[in-house]
Amino acid sequence: MIPHNLRHFYYKKILSELPDDDFVFLVDSRDLIFQKSSESIARELADSADLHFFDEGDVYFKNGKEQRIKDSPTTLYWLNLVSFNDKDFVTPLVDEMILNGGCFAGRVKYMRKYNLAVCEVIEKSKYKYDEILDQVATIIPAYSKTFREISCYHRNGKLVLNMCGIAKGKFQLVDGKCFMDGELIPIVHQYDRFGEYNELNGINISKRPYQVYHSSNQEEDSR
């Protein structure tokens, strides 16, 4: 099984060994940076909901199109590779915002149940050995009625900046750190779409500008 899918089965083993009341982040490693203490972020999140998901709004960085599932050919393609019951959702799944599968968080007791549902989506697909299924496998249970009432869905750039999506607000890069509307963003994910990172200088945006689709005074991104 490819690593994108396989990691959820490793999560399953690790979560089975942790205390129910612990709070965990399940994250990509290479392209994700905590700009604030993970413990302080965890305390803030734990007080508001049992599970936390972070979307990729508002528009896709490559073409400026809205980041809803129905507007993403790639996400719709992945959805066709798995099975799910439309009756499990309050709102039609395709009308929802794309959630990022590379960073989500919650209490172990609930994360264990949620990740098990993710594994079931992957296991039932005949494409699990060949196709990247982790994105839709995390989205489907996250929006289902089973987890809706215990989950909080965060807009892009508030607690996590998923840089596949261009978030609304004034983005700034100051001394290698990312800010939105003057506030330090706690977690930055997918920065390598726009530049690179090193421990000495932090993030350096060198490939393309960020927020070109929300700002008319920035150079249009032709890449």
Residues 169-185 have pLDDT tens digits of 999 999 999 999 999 99
Q: Which residue has the tokens 């496998």?
A: 137
CA angle 1, 163, 139 (to 5 degrees): 45
- Residue among 35, 72, 36 nearest 57 (CA): 72
What pLDDT does 34 receive? 96
pLDDT tens digits for range 123-142: 999 999 999 999 999 999 99
95 shares a domain with 41: yes
88 shares a domain with 41: yes
What pLDDT does 219 receive? 43
Each residue's pLDDT tens digit in the chain (223 positions)? 999 999 999 999 999 999 999 999 999 988 999 999 999 999 999 989 999 999 999 999 999 999 999 999 999 999 999 999 999 999 999 999 999 999 999 999 999 999 999 999 999 999 999 999 999 999 999 999 999 999 999 999 999 999 999 999 999 999 999 999 999 999 999 999 999 999 999 999 999 999 887 654 344 443 3
Q: Is residue 215 in a domain?
A: no
Q: Find the domain containing 147 and state its range.
A: 3-154
What pLDDT does 30 receive? 86
What pLDDT does 218 receive? 40
200 shares a domain with 149: no
Q: Is residue 98 in a domain?
A: yes
Q: Is residue 136 in a domain?
A: yes
What pLDDT does 19 receive? 97
Of the three residues 138, 154, 170, the one that is the final residue of a domain is: 154
Strands 32-34 and 160-162 come out as unpaired
The domain tally of the chain equals: 2
56 shares a domain with 18: yes
186 shares a domain with 100: no
Rounded to 5 degrees, what are φ and ψ at 126?
A: -75, -5
197 shares a domain with 103: no
For the chain, give the mean pLDDT. Answer: 93
What angle, 0 to 180 degrees and rounded to 10, lies between the N-to-C axes of helices 3-15 and 134-143?
50
What pLDDT does 215 receive? 57
pTM recorded for the entire structure = 0.92
165 shares a domain with 148: no
Q: Is residue 184 in a domain?
A: yes
Of the three residues 114, 129, 154, the one that is the final residue of a domain is: 154
What pLDDT does 212 receive? 82
180 shares a domain with 85: no
Of the three residues 154, 180, 213, the one that is the final residue of a domain is: 154
118 shares a domain with 22: yes
Q: Is residue 132 in a domain?
A: yes
183 shares a domain with 142: no
Q: Is residue 168 in a domain?
A: yes
Cα distances (Å, whole numbers) of residue 122 to 31, 61, 109, 198: 23, 28, 21, 35
Count of residues making up the chain: 223
135 shares a domain with 170: no
Q: Is residue 147 in a domain?
A: yes
Q: How far apart are CA 16 and CA 204, in angstroms?
A: 38
Q: Is residue 222 in a domain?
A: no
179 shares a domain with 142: no
